[in-house]
Chain A
Amino acid sequence: MTDLTALTIAEARDQLKAKAISATELTGAYIQAIENANEALNAYIVTTPEKALEMAKASDARLAAGNAGPLEGIPLGIKDLFGTEGVHTQAASHILDGFKPHYESTVTANLWADGAVMLGKLNMDEFAMGSSNESSYYGPVKNPWRAKGSNVDLVPGGSSGGSAAAVAARLCAGATATDTGGSIRQPAAFTGTVGIKPTYGRCSRWGVVAFASSLDQAGPIARDVRDAAIMLKSMASVDAKDTTSVDIAVPDYEAVIGKPLAGIKIGIPKEYRVDGMPEEIEKLWQQGISWLKDAGATIVDISLPHTKYALPAYYIVAPAEASSNLARYDGVRYGLRVPGRDIVDMYENTRAKGFGEEVKRRIMIGTYVLSAGYYDAYYLQAQKVRTLIKKDFEDVFHAGIDAILTPATPSAAFGIADQEMNSDPVKMYLNDIFTVTVNMAGLPGIAVPAGLDSRGLPLGLQLIGRPFDEETLFQTAYVIEQAAGKFNAPKWW
């Protein structure tokens, strides 16, 4: 029998419907795969095999009764940021020790309602703050990809590093992820997987641990474009519990896959050609342009003049919102408590022990830029720049551009405990230089694998779309995927 974990979501769905396989068999295959691999990769923080088998059994019953949901019997991994009832939900932080919510996030509830099966909770950067998955309290995740002939461990990217690694290593059929500055797209690019950050307001944030509320958005990481479309359809909804959830019906994203690109205008922004960008990334970008041109798209050179200010503005806005959101972790209502002389001492000790270095750094920056006398100079200035960044995009869309093609990251995956990245926080932040603009403007963005570098590591391209036009992104990304092919990590773990 073929390895069931090799099936995409679409393939598994068809075989389940045809009764060629059962949800219990499929889930069993993933449980076994996780057992064999997780010690090496550290992608899962917690596995829930009993719950998974129970859910699979229920799926088999619904499949037999002929009332299967769109994701019936599909085993998924869930990023630790999503509240899952009765199951470990700690945002990979020490400060949420022992936290098991008595509620379910809207996104995961949508997935279970559509028949999906939960395999466990996936590792991530603490509170989704990081680009390498090294800030997790549970230790770094290893990228299933290694350079040719090398046994050096690489990062899977972050913050959704566990999600990307688990999908790439076939430890789940697909995974949930979140993206505040690039946390879906950068790890997808580093692992040869597809990740989409939908438009702000498309997926409900209810029940998802908050990092920077005006930027956070959930989305899937999957093995191919079709699977990402299938997952997003189930994850997205209109939710009264999130006031920023937008009242627009969720389209059938899968329906656009395979539609020709004739008439589509793709913008190529000159500002994404940054200093020191490797030759290989430039080549990949040019390759992507010619693929889309060959498929009938019109290529237009465009300018997004405020691009270079997106990352500095992000490092004011995101920490400011984080410092406010993370004020709730005080050792009183949930999680870790470290005793002190009095209540303030208890707060300070709890937060000193419970938060990791990167999280503390961002809380400190956020507290500083919001403090009296600095608010106008930093926060207000950043929010004005954000308006200009968004206007750049509005102008090109107004001029008739349907989607924008850029590289997804400025490099391929780097090593775990990379000296340069770890000695200078700004070097690490630069990983998100191509992705962060999208969050600042609330737009949808998809990362799709487009090739391998000379060392055999995956590289991705990014497509940025109009608000709530994820369909054009799936349609266009599929063309890139068809041209580039799919990339699988050779198994070493």
Chain B
Amino acid sequence: MSVDTATVKRVANLARIAVTEDDVSRMTGQLNTILGFVEQLNEVNVEGVEPMTSVTPMAMKKRQDVVNDGDKVADIVANAPTSEENFFVVPKVVE
């Protein structure tokens, strides 16, 4: 399978990365090189093979459903580019 420029634009939009026309033409070539490389996986017979979900055979650990952390609003917003009164500030969103 290979991608065209329209697909690359659609994927960039899904990934929320702004792209110029130059970016799109360069990325299309590079993505097709990579997709060409991974194509060989289709040779593998995977009939009856389960997809891997966990690399180590272990039951997922579950923690107790209790509050064990909190009261650190200042820590949480400390690295925000813009914050006000414990809120992250973003451009106005009107739907």
Chain A positions within 8 Å of B, measured between CB atoms, are 98-103, 199-201, 214, 240, 243-247, 306, 308-309, 312-313, 315-316, 323, 327, 330-337, 339-340, 342-349, 351-352, 355, 360-361, 363-365, 367-368, 371, 374, 377-378, 380-388, 390, 424-426, 429, 441-442, 467
Contact = CB atoms under 8 A, between A and B. Distances in A.
A337 B17 CA distance: 13
Contacts of A342: 91-93
B58 A246 contact: yes
A371 B14 contact: yes
A348 B17 contact: yes
Contacts of A348: 16-18
Nearest to B26: A357
Nearest to B57: A467
B16 A351 contact: yes
Nearest to B68: A240
Contact of B79 (A335, A364, A374, A387): A335
Interface string B63-86: 100000000100110111110000
A348 B63 CA distance: 36
Interface string B1-37: 1010001100110111111000000010011011101
B34 A363 contact: no
B61 A243 contact: yes
Contacts of B3: 368
Interface residues of B, number: 52
B20 to A, nearest CB: 9
18 contacts: A99-B79, A201-B58, A312-B39, A316-B41, A323-B15, A332-B90, A333-B79, A343-B93, A349-B18, A360-B17, A364-B17, A364-B31, A365-B35, A367-B11, A368-B7, A381-B46, A383-B52, A467-B56
A214 B90 contact: no
Contacts of B42: 381
A337 B18 contact: no
Contacts of A330: 16
A200 B46 contact: no
Contacts of A365: 31, 34-35
Given A336-B81, A346-B91, A364-B17, 6 more contacts: A214-B55, A331-B81, A383-B51, A384-B49, A386-B52, A441-B55
Contact of B37 (A98, A312, A388): A312
Nearest to A353: B18
B51 A387 contact: yes
B55 to A, nearest CB: 3
Contact of A364 (B11, B46, B81, B92): B11
B91 A340 contact: yes
Contacts of B76: 333
Contacts of B37: 312, 315, 426, 429
Which of B52, B78, B92 counts the most A-chain CB atoms under 10 A from its CB? Answer: B52
Contact of B56 (A309, A387, A442): A442
Contact of B81 (A335, A355, A382, A388): A335
A306 B49 CA distance: 13
A341 B53 CA distance: 41
A346 B90 contact: yes
Contact of A316 (B8, B38, B80): B38
A61 to B, nearest CB: 29
A85 to B, nearest CB: 10
A424 B19 CA distance: 20
A306 B43 CA distance: 11
Contacts of B72: 102
Contacts of A313: 38, 41
A346 B17 CA distance: 10
A21 to B, nearest CB: 38
B49 to A, nearest CB: 4
Contacts of B93: 342-343
B52 A199 contact: no
Nearest to B61: A243
A304 to B, nearest CB: 14
Contacts of A312: 37-41
A334 B56 contact: no
B52 A347 contact: no
A101 B58 CA distance: 31
Contact of A384 (B1, B40, B50): B50
B34 A425 contact: yes
Which of A316, A381, A384 counts the most B-chain CB atoms under 10 A from its CB? Answer: A384
A50 to B, nearest CB: 21
A236 to B, nearest CB: 14
Given A332-B88, A381-B42, A361 B18 contact: no
B41 A381 contact: yes
A361 B41 contact: no
A62 B12 CA distance: 54
